[in-house]
Amino acid sequence: MNETDDSGDDSADENDADSGETGATALRKGEVFEVLRNQRRRYVLHFLKQDGQPVELGDLAQQVAAWEYQTTLDGVTPAQRKRVYTTLQQTHLPKMDEAGILEFDSDEGVIRPTDRTRDISVYLEIVPGREFAWRELYLSLGAISSALVAALWLEIYPMTLLSNLAWTGIIAATVTVTAIVHIYHERNMRLGHGDQPPELSYGSDD
């Protein structure tokens, strides 16, 4: 009888542990995306995902400042670099280190990517003021296709000038081209892809 009770207690403890672990994982993911709401921290992640190697704080600050002020590395002024350097050192890097996105050695002034740096795949679907509504586009394509099928079924002129097979080919080609453009757009909107952070291509003021 006692063995049965102990077994039940062990099962309950295991369930509680599993539940706690799941909650911690979910919280961790939420923390990551909370951290990356800030544009400067997204620039840091983009830089680390590009190279995948440890970087000195000074070099990181120089590149982030160049992106932020939309200039070249040589065009960054000492004041701009210092401003970025200070906020990275005191605020952004410690916060990202705490979230496990990177490792920040404040004594050596070195930032190292972690497994989480490589695993995070952030797709910036919405850039403030520059949104492209892909869902609405696909919905519109579906509505147009449905209307076209109905018109062909009712044999409405001038839809009958082309055969049903020809219209099917046109619809299929339109959807395929749209999907290809969507995939290309999505890849370009991922951090770590391309020379510049994706936001710079859309003139975001975030």
**What pLDDT is attached to residue 58?**
95
**What pLDDT is attached to residue 91?**
94
Beta-sheet strands, E only, within 27-175: 55-56, 102-105, 110-113
Dist. CA 187–CA 78, nearest whole Å: 34
Stated pTM of the model: 0.58
**What pLDDT is attached to residue 3?**
45
Dist. CA 158–CA 60, nearest whole Å: 61
In which residue ranges of the chain is pLDDT below 70?
A: 1-30, 32, 121-132, 185-196, 198, 200-206
Dist. CA 138–CA 135, nearest whole Å: 5
| Amino acid of residue 93 | L
Tell me the per-residue pLDDT of 96-140, one tens digit each, with 9 for 90 and over.
898 888 999 999 999 999 887 777 766 454 444 445 677 788 888
Dist. CA 197–CA 39, nearest whole Å: 10
Cα dihedral 188/194/197/198 (nearest 10): -20
CA-nearest of 126, 123, 129 to 46 is 123
DSSP 19-67: HHHHHHHHHHHHHHHHHTTSHHHHHHHHHHHHH-S-EEHHHHHHHHHHH
Is 36-124+192-202 CATH 2.40.320? no
Dist. CA 38–CA 5, nearest whole Å: 51
